[in-house]
Copies of this chain bind each other. A is one copy, B any other.
Amino acid sequence: MKNTFGNSLTVTLFGESHGPCIGAVIDGLAPGIKIDEQYIAEKLSKRRPKDETATSRREPDLFEIKSGVFNGFTTGTPLCIIIPNTDTISKNYDDLLGKARPGHADYAAFCKYHGFEDARGGGHFSGRITASLVAAGAIISYALQNKGIYIGTHVKKCADIYDSEFSDDLKTDISSLLSKDFPALSDEKYGKMREAVLNAKNDNDSVGGIIETAVICMPKGVGEPWFDTVEGKLSHALFSVPAVKGVEFGLGFSFADKRASNVNDGLYIENGEIYTKTNNNGGINGGITNGMPVIFRCAIKPTPSISKVQDTVDYKNNENTQIEIHGRHDPCIAFRACPVIDAICAITLADLLVLRYGTDYLA
């Protein structure tokens, strides 16, 4: 399905970084979901670059809902949301055309699209496209919250600095993340991360990170054993986010050094409800939710756009060359990736829920 994701609730993305607009079509929404435009705007504002830790491109992200909403509620028919591009400086890219930016999709895209691709600003590969995802995800996460399902993401690690861990009170942690301008549990740790990011920027360089997501109150028994596991569906969508190069659930790669006796999640029953004592499996067993919080982490690579001189090729002229990238870029994309991951998570889980409980579930 390529640029469409989902089975019963689907999202289709379109748009290029320097085209007139970007957008998304959401299909399969229940009729009667309230559209809170303020809530969508807030989510978009979290993704937006704010200060010198991010690109200087400033888009107001004034979204327009073109269909699927009537009198403030979803109709149940496809909802198209469009976000105009306003602050595009294509000139920055003119010298680059044909020169592959190392670490970027340029050359791979050329192999696929044979030179017809709109390479300005990364075109359809640009992080800009994620604004549509955030808008679509906002509509859905608003509905999920009405079912008690909350999603929050923080930068767990950036440039070797660790944020505080999620506490046992995930609901409060998520609320705190949703209320802050930056996605970190500890303000102090955030300050240090910020400093490290600015250091990298001063060096004309960029840094990577790990971001971690928690979802509470997912119903039990959702997902499939083969192949539509909760992990498989989520990772499928998550790897679309530019810069994500790894996805792990629960202990993830740390399982490798463990013995089962230390990491098996023992179960217990309390007041008639079944829980696990630990949550090393991140709320999922055999691909299916077990009622514990869903926990996953994404590896974010350093933004490949840096203003240092780099060796590369000019694939249009078939020759070795060098490149210096002078566009507007993020010295660390991990922070702005958090609301995007929230959005993708909302979209994917909502699809699984609707498939499980029917199309009116989110109303």
Which one, B76, B124, B266, B274, contacts A315 given CB within 8 A? B274
A357 in complex: contacting residue of B129, B258, B358, CB < 8 Å: B358
Q: Which of A28, A78, A209 has the most CB of B within 10 A?
A: A78
Whether A80 contacts B313 by the Cβ 8 Å rule is no
Contact B76 A113 (CB under 8 A): yes
B12 touches A12 (CB 8 A): yes
* A73: interface (CB < 8 Å): yes
- Once the chains bind, are A4 and B14 in contact (CB under 8 Å)? no
Q: Do A227 and B221 touch (CB < 8 A)?
A: no
This chain: copies in complex: 4
Q: A320 in the interface, Cβ–Cβ < 8 Å?
A: yes
Most buried by B among A251, A264, A320: A264
B236 touches A318 (CB 8 A): no
| A235 and B225 contacting across the interface, CB-CB below 8 Å | no
Contact flags A268-305 to B (C-beta < 8 A → 1, else 0) = 11001010110011101111111100000001111111
A111 & B266 in contact (Cβ 8 Å cutoff)? no
A290 B111 Cβ-Cβ under 8 A: yes
* A: interface residue count bin: 35 or more
CB-CB < 8 A to A147: which residues of B? none
Tell me the nearest residue of chain B to A32, going by C-beta.
B116
Chain B residue contacts of A125, Cβ below 8 A: 225, 286
Q: Is the CB of B107 within 8 A of A285?
A: yes
Contact of A320 among B19, B246, B268, B284 (CB under 8 A): B268
Whether A231 sits at the interface, judged by CB under 8 Å, is yes
Q: A235-B235, A266-B312, A290-B108 are in contact. Are A306 and B257 (CB under 8 A)?
A: no
Contact A246 B252 (CB under 8 A): yes
Partner of A247, one of B25, B247, B281, B303: B247
Asked if A137 is at the interface (CB within 8 A of a chain B CB), the reply is no
Known contacts A268-B320, A299-B253, A80 near B23 by CB under 8 Å: yes
Listed A/B pairs (15) with beta-carbon separation below 8 Å:
A1-B27, A3-B78, A3-B226, A4-B10, A76-B116, A102-B264, A232-B235, A235-B239, A255-B302, A261-B306, A263-B301, A267-B311, A268-B320, A277-B311, A355-B358
